[in-house]
């Protein structure tokens, strides 16, 4: 089991560029999440999905888009990158949506927008 | 959701108990207290949660005051691997994934040899 994998690990973008952060899990989890973590701060939920074809906004969705065409994959799209999107992005998955359910996290993608 | 207040940092000697406080004075009756931690560069890890009774599991104990306005997470015998940022959050225990894991600065616990 690879768990939750994320690519790339690091990326530098110029203002206005676009990119897709990839996330995949092999645990057959229905729930998947995208978080961002700014330096010295806690996590903020960007988008989440409760199953293939179903996505919803979290606390900070502006500037991002997601899709969930399969159970395994949950890519995060950044359109027109801005310096405010410089952050570490974590993808996570869980079998249910309960707060006590273990969320398995990927290693993160460190994104810098210059 | 109720806001929480935690000290930004704490130190603890290895092998001693680490007591991490959290204030949540605006907590409402149906909100639970949850604790997570994040070891450097990793994703958060669930530790424990409670409503009004004290709770204990293999990782930690959670003490909630009778008025529920504050709580303390206790790591009974801290090890170097417990060095992490500890987050206290207050949430309704629903199945709504949109309520998950949004939290603030936490307490940076440094366990020293």
The pLDDT of residue B101: 60
Separation in Å, CA B34 to CA A7, A101, B22, B63:
30, 12, 10, 12
Name the pLDDT band for A105 (thresholds 50, 70, 90).
confident
Residue B98 has pLDDT above 70, yes or no: no
The answer to which of A12-16, A96-100, B24-28, B47-51 has the lowest mean pLDDT is A96-100
- SS3 of chain B: the string is CCCCECCCEEEEECCCCEEEEEECCCCCCCEEEEEEEECCCCCCEEEEEECCCCEECCCCEEEECCCCCEEEEEECCCCHHHCEEEEEEEEECCCCHHHCCCCCCCEEEEEEC
CA distance A55 to B8: 34
Query: Between residues B17 and B32, which one has the greater pLDDT?
Result: B17
The pLDDT of residue B2: 60
The pLDDT of residue A22: 97
Name the pLDDT band for B96 (thresholds 50, 70, 90).
low
CA distance B103 to B97: 14
Q: Which of A42, A48, A104 sits opposite B98 (nearest CB)?
A: A48
Q: Which of A45, A50, A107 sits opposite B101 (nearest CB)?
A: A45
The pLDDT of residue B1: 56
**What residues of chain A, 25 to 84, have a C-beta less than 8 Å from chain B?**
31, 33, 35, 40-45, 48, 50, 56-59
Cα-Cα-Cα-Cα dihedral of A62, A68, A69, A75, to 10°? 70
Residue B94 has pLDDT above 70, yes or no: no
Q: pLDDT (tens digit, 9 = 90+) per residue, B10-23? A: 999 999 999 999 99
- Count of CA atoms in the C-beta half-sphere (13 A) of A79: 6
Q: pLDDT (tens digit, 9 = 90+) per residue, A28-86? A: 999 999 999 888 777 888 999 999 999 999 889 999 999 999 999 999 999 999 999 99
Are A7 and A71 in contact, with CB atoms under 8 Å apart?
A: no
Per the CB < 8 Å rule, is B43 touching A50? Answer: no
Nearest one of A83, A62, A82, A69 to A22, comparing CA atoms: A69
Indicate which of A10, A42, A56, A102 best probes the interface with B, i.e. most B CBs within 10 Å of its own CB: A42
Query: Between residues A39 and B76, which one has the greater pLDDT?
Result: B76
Name the pLDDT band for B93 (thresholds 50, 70, 90).
low
Retrieve residue B7's tokens: 């000290």
The pLDDT of residue B50: 92
Residue B95 has pLDDT above 60, yes or no: no
Query: Between residues A40 and B77, which one has the greater pLDDT?
Result: B77
Give mean pLDDT, residues B39-55: 87
User: How many Cβ atoms are within 10 Å of A106's Cβ, its own excluded?
Assistant: 25
Percent residues over pLDDT 90 in chain B: 63
A contacts of B87 (beta carbons < 8 Å) = 42
């Amino acid at each position: 089991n690879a768990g939750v994998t994320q690519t790339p690990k690091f990326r530098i973008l110029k203002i206005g560029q676009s990119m897709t952060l990839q996330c995949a899990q092999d645990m057959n989890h229905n729930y998947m999440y995208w978080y961002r973590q700014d330096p010295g701060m806690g996590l903020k939920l960007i988008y989440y999905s409760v199953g293939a074809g179903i996505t919803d906004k979290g606390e900070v969705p502006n500037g991002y888009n997601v899709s969930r065409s399969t159970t395994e994959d949950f890519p995060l799209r950044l359109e027109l990158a801005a310096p405010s999107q410089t952050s570490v992005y974590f993808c996570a998955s869980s079998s249910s949506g309960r707060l006590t359910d273990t969320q398995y996290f990927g290693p993160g993608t460190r994104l810098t927008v210059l | 959701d109720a806001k929480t207040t935690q000290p930004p940092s704490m130190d603890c000697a290895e092998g001693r108990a680490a007591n991490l406080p959290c204030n949540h004075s605006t907590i409402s009756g149906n909100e639970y207290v949850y604790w997570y931690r994040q070891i450097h560069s990793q994703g958060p890890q669930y530790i424990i949660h409670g409503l009004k009774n004290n709770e204990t599991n293999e990782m930690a104990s959670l003490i909630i005051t009778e008025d529920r306005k504050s709580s303390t997470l206790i790591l009974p015998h801290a090890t170097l691997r417990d060095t992490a940022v500890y987050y206290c959050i207050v949430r309704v225990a629903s199945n709504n994934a949109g309520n998950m894991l949004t939290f603030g600065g936490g307490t940076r616990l440094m366990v020293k040899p």
